[in-house]
Structure 1
Amino acid sequence: MTISTGIVLFVIGAILTFAVNVEFDAISLDLIGYILMGAGVVVFIIGLITMTTARRRTVDRVERVDRVGPID
């Protein structure tokens, strides 16, 4: 989920920075695009880190059950 969110943020930021040529007096779409691209990279890296650490922590556990009494 976080990896795809990072990719989406990066793509939206790239579109705002490089493809949209609308200018507003109070808002710089280029700056917002760069911020979104940076946030997308950070979220993508966090997703990769959490994915790799979660795989290392999984432990398979086998339970042994001893039967008491005769086996039929």
Structure 2
Amino acid sequence: MTIAGGIILIMLGAILTWAVEFDIAGFDINVVGVILMIGGLAWLLFAVYRLSLARRAVADSAATAVIDDDPVVQRRVYEERRYNDPPVV
């Protein structure tokens, strides 16, 4: 379930809605295209939501560390780097 899957469904629905001029008795291609576009939009929004949750979970777990197996006491570790390169002349 990726962002690309949602975009592909939206594109396929748009093609069926506006580019296809084909009629089948009892079957409306335009309605199928609109349904695919709505489904693709829902899929896309859900994929972006899952991606943001995963990134937030990784960032939260990397930022905190548990001390002495006590889940209440936490610390944040910041890393600072200093580069002592000579100036470019």
1:53 maps to which residue?
A: 53
Matched, 1:33 2:33: yes
Q: Could you list the runs of 4 or more consecutive aligned residues of structure 1 that deviate by over 6 angstroms after TM superposition?
A: none
- The TM-score with structure 2 as length reference comes to 0.65
Percent sequence identity is 34
2:20 maps to which residue?
A: 20
The Cα offsets for residues 24-72 of structure 1, whole Å up to 9 and x where unpaired, read as 112100000000000000000000000001111111277xxxxxxxxxx
How far did 1:21 drift?
Answer: 0.2
Matched, 1:3 2:33: no
How far did 1:2 drift?
Answer: 1.7
Structure with the higher fraction of residues in helix conformation = 1
1:33 counterpart letter in structure 2? G
Q: How many residues of Structure 1 are paired with residues of Structure 2 in the alignment?
A: 62
1:68 maps to which residue?
A: none
- Aligned-residue RMSD, C-alpha: 1.4
Unaligned runs of 5+ in 2: 66-89
- The TM-score with structure 1 as length reference comes to 0.80
> Equivalents in 1 of 2:3, 2:26: separation in Å?
32
Unaligned runs of 5+ in 1: 63-72
> Equivalents in 2 of 1:56, 1:12: separation in Å?
32
